[in-house]
Amino acid sequence: MIVKIKNKMTLAVSALVFSLMFVTAWSSLLYFEREIKASVTRQQYALVSSTAHAIERSLLESQSMTQSLAKLITPEMLASPEKAQEFLDKRFYVQKHFSNSLFLFAPSGRLIAAYPSRVNFIGADFSFRDYLKKTLKTGLPQISDPFLSRQKPSVPILMFTAPVRDAAGQIQAVLGGAVDLSSQDTFNSLGQKMEGQGYFHLYSKNNRTFIAHHDQSQILEQVAVGTNPLFDQAVAGFEGTVEGTTTCGLEALISTVQLKTVDWVLEAGYPLEVAYAPLAKAKRYFIIGGGAAVLATLFLVRFLMSFMLAPLLRFTRQVREMTEPEAPRLPVQIASRDEVGLLAEAFNRMLVEINHEKAALREQLSFSRSLMNTIPIPVCYKDAQGSYLGCNSAFESFMAIKQEELVGKCLHEIMPREVADTFMASEQKVLSEEGIHLSEGSFFAADGFRHHVLFYKTALTGPDGLPTGSIGAMLDITEQKKSQALLQEIAGTVSSAVGTLFFHSMVHFLAETLRADFVFISRIVPERPEMAETLAVFDHGAPGGNFCYPLQWTACDYEVDSGSVFPFRWMRDIYPDNPCFSEMNIENCIGSTITDTSDNVIGFLFILSAKPLKNVVLAESLLKIFVSRAGAELQRVSAEAELLKSYDFCLSLFEEFPALIWRSGLDARCNYFNGTWLRFAGRSLEEELGDGWIERVHPDDREGLKSMYFSAFAERREFQTEYRLRRLDGEYRWFMSIGRPFNGLDDRFAGYIGACFDRTDEKLTEDGLWTMSGAIEQNPSAILITDAKGIVRYANRKYCDLTSFDLDHVIGYDLTAVTSVMPELGELLVAAVTSGRENQGEFLGRKGADDEYCAVARTSPIINSKGEISHFCLTMEDVTERKRLENQLRHSQKMEAVGTLAGGVAHDFNNILTAIMGYGELIKLKAAADSPIRPPLQKLLAAADRAATLTRNLLTYSRKQPLTTLSVDVNVIVNNVASLLARLLREDIEFVLFPAEYPLTIEADSSQIEQVLMNLATNARDAMPEGGILQIRTSRANLDTVFIKAHGYGEEGPYARITVSDNGQGMDDTVKTKIFEPFFTTKEVDKGTGLGLSIVYGIIKQHKGFINVYSEPGKGTTFTICLPLSNQRVEECAAEMAAPFVCTGDETLLLVEDDEAIRGMLCEVLMQNGYTVIEASDGVDGVQKFRDYPERIAMVILDVVMPKKNGRAAYDEILKIRPGTKALFMSGYTADMLGAENMLEEGLNFISKPILIDNLLRKIREVLAA
């Protein structure tokens, strides 16, 4: 059945279109399916979440209702059940929240009252209920797990409870509200199905029971673990929407939401067929639309193919008609100009070419036949069945058959059967395999003789490349076969022998073949070139004895001169005086010289006879053959003799060589060990051969050695390795083994030969040297070694790192050159070289231009084996870091000591200032406005205020002033300071601010940081008396271990960096090292306290930061401050407006103060403001005074540090007398200092001295009002 191309094209194009349409439509369908499912999932989960929120609101409302009702219950109601019942009856409106009942329980669990009043178990004990136990235990409202009520019939209920408390906060009863879960209105009818066969389920995770279910019988039913995997996942905390199977076995789209108020889970679901109904409808539309598109596409493609393929079908019809017998091959007629028209045009050109080729083939065939007939070698050709198709003239003559008679016949018809069978077998091979095939055979030709021929055959192929027949040629090799037979006889009887046997066989063969009387072969004696000695002699039918003879006046002498083969001649006429020819009756001789590969004469071969030889040509041919073979054999014998001599010498050398020598064969197994090896092993050769020697290799080296050896053997490469080998006494010795491949006499790979050298002593020495070298080279100390004249011979890496010298500029140089930048070290070395004794010292060195280091150096002489000083060794230890840390420690200790002193002094100052400022304020209050004492009094108070400021500065320096830290932006602080600097700086000073473009949040006391910047700006102003530029810059810095190691302070992490720079006078290193010390100043008297930078230092340290300074005389000064960055948000600090505050009172206060002046001043102030004051002089006195008037005293004011009993201890005893007594503590120490000494805990009311009257009165009212 023929399928038309039109149908094929229609189907192919349609299939392609269908595939594209299907892929596009299916992809779209999958996309819409995914989107529809996602949309349905989101909508359902939103619905469930909204419902869950509604449930939680309902629960909270019910719980809030319970709590509100509980607060309305009074002790009188609890004492009278009738009043309690009346209270509950009036709360009928709560039935919308509690569909079952309201209950009032006693703490014992007894039911006091219930609503509605028809509940018949009032007085019953409900203490076993979990909701009651939890409420009484925790004192908190509870929502119970679902349970069955005691009422008949029992219904599933949910209980809301709230504790009823008295005025003291003690639980006096528990109010409960119950919800009937079987009611249709519970939780907005959750148990009913949603629209469209959906459902809501609500269940508890604690006991795995249903709270709401569309099947009322399932409420309070427990779901076993493993029954529903989705249920188990929801209980474990899963939230979301998935496709799954419900507990009832329904395939549904299920959403679960965890309720936050209670341990419940809300579940909602739709059957999958309902949830995805729009998707199913879309699929039906897809199938219907796809079928219609398929039919339309088939019709359209069929129509287009019929139109487009019409010219091609017409063309194929014309071509098919040309194949009919006798049909004319005329050009096809296609008018189309498309590809079909071009195809027809090409086809017409091809027809013309085919006709031309046919004519050329006919001419070629005629030429080939003429050529074949002129070839003198018989040639024939056959078809694939073996029948002859033709032959040339030479074949006709050789086989005595005409071509006309030969054509159509097969081999069996012109040759004997056995010959024909052999040729036919080779004929099949020719047809099945490519190439020229050669075979040999023999048969009787037309001349009646057997001829040996070689057949050359090859296959003839048709246009399709398949064999259609064969062509063969015969080469007559009958004469060659005869010569070959003779040579084979020579090879079989003579050439296969070697040495003496070859020479005897050769002369015997020549004598027998040529019927000669005397044949001999001789060689020139190497030690006596004028003499020759025979190697083999055949004398009149029998082997003869060898002899020596002189070459002079013999045929051999003539051979040496002529260098050619002797012609057959009359020898006695040439050598009439030669007695040998006369004695042997020799008349005729033929012979030749024997030469080596360099054409040097090394021997002779002669054939002698009393009668002329019958076949002189054969004799000459045989002579030429045997002369060549004899020359090779003579050289071989000579080489073999030399080889034996060399072998004997080498063997003796190997056996006694002072190294272990081995050899392996082609199998990689060792087949020779020399005598040195065997003596080392203490074993016989048989024990060591093969793999026997391996067992003496150290176990740790064995596998590595074998792997390396076999790898090298496989790659035929040299190798060198080291391993340990056990000696006969059991000791393992280190050997270096070297092996290489070697070739045999045939120049082919024959195995490996190698030698092992004992390196044990060298290796021990090398290991020691390597260890010593490594210890010196890797030593953390710098090491320098010189010879006795002071020339440097060695320096380790640490020396070069320490001194920054290149090794090339150290080795070979004099000491004066390598210590030119270290004069102290140079003197130390020169002294050591001069005295020859040990010496040590400390010196300063310099790296590059500015980098200095400190080192401790020690020199010592090195004594050689003769007891003489051969070298000197210098070791240097870098102590720069240690010196720097020691200086920092001393500075830190000094600063800490000053800080401790400052804190103590500040305490005493504060006590004194409290009395001064307090009495001053009293006098000021009593003095009239125009009193003459007010101006000096004002100056007195101002001086006291400055003293208080000085005290605060001392505390700030000692880091004992408390901080009020907030998360603040450094840029904001700097901007605030910038607005203040306008009043501080002179007009000739330019102020430039470069704030960072990003926030730099730190934990800091803004006022303290502002004080730091103001102090630095003040110093910068004073350092620029003629004007200049002051710059403040903020940025971010990341400190790493390199910075910390270089500077000796700080912790890794991000920092806010503040840089304050001026171009003023600057300072030298001496001043720079002291600027942070308290009371150090370079200003004139009365121009500065010397605390400015000390306070800066203390504030920065208190903020866990650090500050450093860079300055040079005349080049200005730069202070760099780094404060740890914070990841907290910036806290907004709104200024609080001081509200009017009433500071007077009429309460009785107990004042406990050991300083009489301060106590008297405070008593007077307090009494003037309406208070009644009871005084006490110390802690013991204060406790006793409180015992005397415990009910009168409203508040206690105590000094913290007092003799006998401190303020905190006194207050503890007062609290035992009357708990809850209010107290206000005061001290000249800060709260931080007192807290560190465990004298004042956090949370207690505290006011710091010196105390201002207004602050004290305000603080007293705050404490009393709290």
3-state SS string for 1016-1030: HHHHHHHCCCCCEEE
For the segment(s) 375-476, the CATH number from 3.30.450.20, 3.10.20.30, 3.40.50.970, 2.30.38.10 is: 3.30.450.20
Cβ neighbors of 300 (< 8 A, separation 6 or more) are none
pLDDT band at 1176 (very low <50, low <70, confident <90, very high): very high
Distance CA 643, CA 622 (A): 31
Calculate mean pLDDT across residues 981-994: 84
Predicted local confidence at residue 585, as pLDDT: 67
**Domain 659-763 is in which class?**
alpha beta
> Which strand ranges, in their side-by-side order, compose the sheet holding 1172-1176?
1172-1176, 1148-1152, 1193-1199, 1222-1227, 1246-1248
Cβ neighbors of 950 (< 8 A, separation 6 or more) are 909, 1089, 1091
Residue 76: pLDDT over 50: yes
pLDDT band at 386 (very low <50, low <70, confident <90, very high): confident
Predicted local confidence at residue 565, as pLDDT: 45
698, β-bridge pairs: none
Calculate mean pLDDT across residues 404-411: 85
Q: Which two tokens stand for residue 79?
A: 């004492």
Cβ neighbors of 896 (< 8 A, separation 6 or more) are none
Residue 203: pLDDT over 70: yes
Distance CA 804, CA 593 (A): 84
CB 523 within 8 A of CB 503: no
Predicted local confidence at residue 1137, as pLDDT: 36
Query: Which of 670-674, 870-874, 904-908 shows the lowest mean pLDDT across its residues?
Result: 904-908
Predicted local confidence at residue 882, as pLDDT: 80
CB 508 within 8 A of CB 514: no
Q: What are phi and psi of 484, to 5 degrees?
A: -65, -40
| DSSP for 979-1022, written as a single string | HHHHHHS-TTEEEEEE--SS--EEEE-HHHHHHHHHHHHHHHHH
335 in helix, strand or coil?
coil
Cβ-defined contacts of 1100-1103 (< 8 Å, 24+): 1100/1012, 1101/959, 1102/956, 1102/959, 1102/961, 1102/963, 1102/1008, 1103/963, 1103/1002, 1103/1003, 1103/1004, 1103/1005, 1103/1008, 1103/1009
Predicted local confidence at residue 477, as pLDDT: 78
Total count of residues recorded for the chain: 1266
pTM, 2 dp: 0.34
pLDDT band at 1143 (very low <50, low <70, confident <90, very high): confident
200 in helix, strand or coil?
strand
Quote the mean pLDDT of the chain: 79
CATH code for 1148-1265?
A: 3.40.50.2300
Predicted local confidence at residue 720, as pLDDT: 92
Predicted local confidence at residue 1135, as pLDDT: 38
Name the CATH topology of 779-878: Beta-Lactamase (3.30.450)
CB 44 within 8 A of CB 272: no
CB 873 within 8 A of CB 785: yes
Calculate mean pLDDT across residues 751-773: 83
CA–CA distances in Å: residue 1264 to residues 406, 1246, 1260: 150, 13, 6
Q: Which two tokens stand for residue 1191?
A: 């009910």
Q: Phi/psi class of residue 512: alpha, beta or left (left: φ > 0; alpha: ψ in -120 to 50)?
A: alpha
474's enclosing H/E stretch is: strand 467-476
CATH code for 481-643?
A: 3.30.450.40
Predicted local confidence at residue 958, as pLDDT: 55
Predicted local confidence at residue 1000, as pLDDT: 92
Which is more confidently placed, 1263 or 623? 1263
Predicted local confidence at residue 1136, as pLDDT: 39
Calculate mean pLDDT across residues 857-864: 82
Q: What are phi and psi of 1102, to 5 degrees?
A: -65, -25
Residue 636: pLDDT over 50: yes
Which is more confidently placed, 696 or 1069? 696
Query: Which of 54-63, 463-472, 623-632, 896-905 shows the lowest mean pLDDT across its residues?
Result: 896-905
Helix-then-strand count for the chain, H and E = 37, 45
Distance CA 885, CA 56 (A): 66
CA–CA distances in Å: residue 1211 to residues 1192, 1193, 1220: 16, 13, 11
pLDDT digits (tens, 9 = 90+) for 484-518: 566 556 655 555 667 788 888 888 888 888 888 88
Distance CA 903, CA 1098 (A): 12
pLDDT band at 569 (very low <50, low <70, confident <90, very high): very low
Q: What percent of the chain has pLDDT over 90?
A: 12
Q: Of 211-220, 454-463, 1254-1263, give the range with the top mean pLDDT.
A: 1254-1263
pLDDT band at 1165 (very low <50, low <70, confident <90, very high): confident
- Do 481-643 and 659-763 fold alike per CATH? yes
Report domain extents, the chain.
Answer: 73-182, 375-476, 481-643, 659-763, 779-878, 965-1130, 1148-1265
CATH code for 965-1130?
A: 3.30.565.10
pLDDT band at 193 (very low <50, low <70, confident <90, very high): very low
Instruction: Determine the angle formed by the axes of helices 1207-1217 and 1179-1188, rounding to 10 degrees.
Output: 20
Residue 353: pLDDT over 60: yes
536, β-bridge pairs: 521
Calculate mean pLDDT across residues 732-747: 89
Predicted local confidence at residue 568, as pLDDT: 41
Calculate mean pLDDT across residues 1023-1045: 87
Name the CATH topology of 73-182: Beta-Lactamase (3.30.450)
E strands along 166-233, which residues?
171-180, 199-204, 209-212
Among candidates 1228, 1145, 1215, which has minimal Cα distance to 1182? 1215
Predicted local confidence at residue 861, as pLDDT: 84
Distance between first and last Cα of the chain: 112
Residue 703: pLDDT over 80: yes
Cβ neighbors of 1050 (< 8 A, separation 6 or more) are 1039, 1043, 1044, 1106, 1122
pLDDT digits (tens, 9 = 90+) for 765-780: 777 777 777 777 778 8
